């Protein structure tokens, strides 16, 4: 902004920022107030939670959830909501990415003084996401991650008896989801994806107080408030299906900043023909008890497939340590300077793991013999 101009809200301070949602020119303090007020309005108008609610805020260490934690902290004191605030983090097991973002979560835990619970994929499902990618290739990373993370967050929330799970999905995420479901022609998901509260009736409801806050507003807010977050993209995100809608919305946003909210509002007013809606029957998974419309939940189906893939790759799995196999593959990857894609060629990995498994087995047998003697 080159010319000195007064803030369009308070009319007294100099405008230093452009508000992404309507391109109005505002001062710093008014900008903070507008963003915080959008969150407050969402909480109050949609009755997202009330005094005494135990909130499990999904803390990934990224900019959205870090900003959400900061704003909830500010608003809970300012408006005396009386909510009991906790952080729940999921460690998917992505080396060089999640471990670093969890460091940011721990620093924020100290700063805000909220209790932190961490649930890891490895502990809960037996596989880290890195291992899943090694077994199945990178294309299925996001599907597995999405389903497992959902269940892991629920388990984390149950551990602290949370009444609500709070997530940092913002207005751009909502608009992207709307567009994605329109492209797919998935009308049931289209409507379900537009709600600010998702409540299946089983387990804590999921609430999203950033529904009306633009991505760019969160980035500006976090930057100006000097919040401590991890800004690196997930290495597997390149495989996400949201790429196209995201690019399209970004382009649209440059010429029509209202389009993000436009998508959200349109979806909210949309009436889906009842006949087109898929009837979802709520069952409990026969294996783990999670909510599902089938006999087995999606998490258990994926887990079964992973177990099958893994048992195909190893001989007498129970006799070897999973970590030793993982370390071996990592070593080989570095040693031979394999390109990423090559390591996913299952057949080659299979042979190498089998060789290593045999080696480890022999070593174990020898150790066992020694111990006996
Ligand atoms: N590993 C995780 N642990 C806990 N919560 C998570 C985790 N990953 C995502 N979430 C929650 O889900 C929300 C949406 O996540 P998603 O990955 O779609 O978006 P994001 O833009 O990368 O979010 P963020 O900037 O907070 O990482 C996050 O804001 C957070 O509340």
Instruction: Report the DSSP beta bridge partners of residue 91.
Output: 120
Question: How crowded is the C-beta side of 152, counted as CA atoms within 13 Å?
Answer: 27
Give the atom of ligand 1 at the shortest distance from the alpha carbon of 57.
Answer: 31
Distance of alpha carbon 265 from alpha carbon 178, whole angstroms: 11
Does the structure's ipTM exceed the value 0.90?
A: yes
Ligand 1: which residues within 6 Å by Cβ?
58-60, 62-65, 89-90, 92, 149, 167-169
3-state secondary structure at position 166:
strand
- Return the best residue to mutate from 58, 148, 176 for the ligand 1 pocket (most ligand atoms within 8 A of CB): 58
CB atoms within 10 A of CB 145: 23
Q: From the CA of 58, how far away is ligand 1's center (Å)?
A: 7
- Best mutation site among 48, 61, 63, 65 for ligand 1 pocket (most ligand atoms within 8 Å of CB): 65
23-59: burial string, b at 16+ Cβ within 10 Å, e else: ebbbbeebbbebbbebbbebbeeeebbeeebbbbbbb
CA angle 297, 115, 89 (to 5 degrees): 35
Ligand 1 atom 5: residue of nearest CA: 58
Q: Distance between CA 166 and CA 153 in Å, rounded?
A: 10
Take atom 21 of ligand 1 and give the residue whose Cα is closest. Answer: 64
**Ligand 1 atom closest to residue 215's alpha carbon, by position in its atom list:** 21
Over 181-244, what HEC string results?
A: HHHHCCHHHHHHCCCCEECCCCCCEEECCCCCCCHHHHHHHHHHCCCCCCCCCCCCHHHCCCHH
Distance in Å, CA 146 to ligand 1 centroid: 10
Taking CA atoms only, the protein residue closest to ligand 1 atom 17 is 60
CA 89 / ligand 1 centre spacing (Å): 9
**DSSP E strand boundaries for 69-176:** 84-91, 116-120, 164-166
Report d(CA 46, CA 44) in Å as an integer: 6
Is the distance from CB of 239 to CB of 187 less than 8 angstroms? no
Pocket test for ligand 1, best of 57, 62, 147 (most atoms within 8 A of CB): 62
- pLDDT for 371 equals 63
pLDDT of residue 343: 45
Confidence (pLDDT) at 123: 94
Q: Supply the pLDDT for residue 117.
A: 98
Instruction: Report the Cα–Cα distance between both ends of the chain, in Å, rounded.
Output: 82
Domains of the chain, earliest start first? 17-272 (3.40.50.620), 279-313 (no CATH), 317-373 (no CATH)
Ligand 1 nearest atom to the CA of residue 91, by list position: 1
Q: Residue 315's pLDDT is what?
A: 44
Residue to substitute in 59, 64, 206, 240 for testing ligand 1 pocket (most ligand atoms within 8 angstroms of CB) = 64
Ligand 1 centre and the CA of 169: distance in Å?
7
pLDDT along the chain (373 residues), means of 10: 84 96 95 98 97 97 98 97 97 95 98 98 93 86 92 96 98 94 87 89 92 97 97 82 84 89 92 67 83 87 85 53 63 56 52 66 69 62
The predicted pLDDT at position 331 comes to 67
Ligand 1: centre distance to CA 208 (Å):
11
- Residue 26 alpha carbon to ligand 1 centre in Å: 29
The strand pair at 17-18 and 25-26 is best described as antiparallel
Question: How many angstroms separate the alpha carbon of residue 86 from the centre of ligand 1?
Answer: 15
Given this model, what pLDDT does residue 272 score?
Answer: 76
Residue 77 has a pLDDT of 96
DSSP state, residue 276: G
Cβ 29 vs Cβ 40: under 8 Å: no
Query: Which DSSP string do the residues of 21-88 spell out, in sequence order?
Result: TT--EE-HHHHHHHHHHHHHHHHHHTT---TT-EEEEE--SSHHHHHHHHHHHHHHHHTT---EEEEE
- 4, 18, 179, 236, 238 from 244: Cα distances, Å: 38, 26, 10, 16, 11
Mutate to test the pocket of ligand 1, among 68, 144, 168 (most ligand atoms within 8 A of CB): 168
What spacing in Å lies between the alpha carbon of 275 and ligand 1's midpoint?
34
Give the Å distance between the CA of 115 and the centre of ligand 1. Answer: 18
């Amino acid at each position: 902004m080159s010319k000195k101009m007064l803030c369009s809200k308070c009319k007294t301070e100099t405008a230093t920022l452009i508000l992404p949602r309507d391109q109005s020119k505002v001062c710093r303090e008014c900008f903070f107030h507008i963003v915080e007020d959008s969150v407050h309005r969402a909480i109050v108008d949609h009755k997202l939670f009330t005094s005494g609610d135990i909130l499990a805020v999904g803390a990934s260490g990224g900019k959205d959830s870090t900003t959400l934690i900061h704003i909830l902290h500010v608003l809970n004191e300012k408006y005396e909501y009386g909510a009991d605030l906790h952080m729940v983090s999921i460690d998917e097991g992505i080396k060089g990415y999640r471990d670093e973002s969890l460091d940011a979560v721990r620093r924020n835990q100290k700063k805000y003084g909220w209790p932190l619970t961490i649930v890891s994929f490895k502990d809960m499902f037996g596989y880290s996401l890195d291992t899943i990618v090694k077994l199945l290739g990178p294309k299925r990373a996001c599907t597995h991650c999405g389903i497992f993370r959902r269940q892991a967050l629920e388990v984390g929330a149950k551990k602290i008896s949370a009444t609500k799970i709070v997530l940092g999905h913002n207005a751009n995420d909502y608009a992207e989801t709307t567009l994605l479901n329109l492209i797919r022609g998935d009308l049931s998901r289209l409507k379900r994806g537009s709600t600010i509260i998702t409540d299946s009736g089983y387990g804590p409801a999921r609430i999203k107080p950033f529904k009306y806050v633009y991505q760019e507003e969160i980035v500006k807010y976090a930057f100006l408030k000097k919040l401590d977050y991890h800004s690196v993209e997930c290495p597997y995100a390149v495989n996400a299906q949201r790429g196209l809608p995201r690019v399209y919305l970004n382009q649209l946003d440059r010429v029509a900043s209202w389009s993000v909210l436009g998508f959200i509002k349109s979806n909210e007013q949309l009436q889906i023909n009842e006949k087109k809606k898929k009837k979802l029957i709520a069952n409990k998974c026969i294996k783990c008890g999670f909510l599902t419309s089938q006999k087995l939940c999606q998490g258990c189906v994926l887990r079964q497939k992973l177990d099958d893939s893994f048992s195909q790759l190893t001989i007498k799995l129970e006799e070897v340590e999973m970590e030793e196999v993982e370390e071996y593959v990592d070593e080989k990857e570095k040693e031979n300077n394999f390109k990423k894609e090559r390591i996913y060629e299952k057949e080659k990995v299979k042979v190498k793991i089998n060789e290593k498994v045999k080696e480890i087995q022999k070593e174990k047998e020898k150790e066992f013999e020694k111990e006996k003697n």
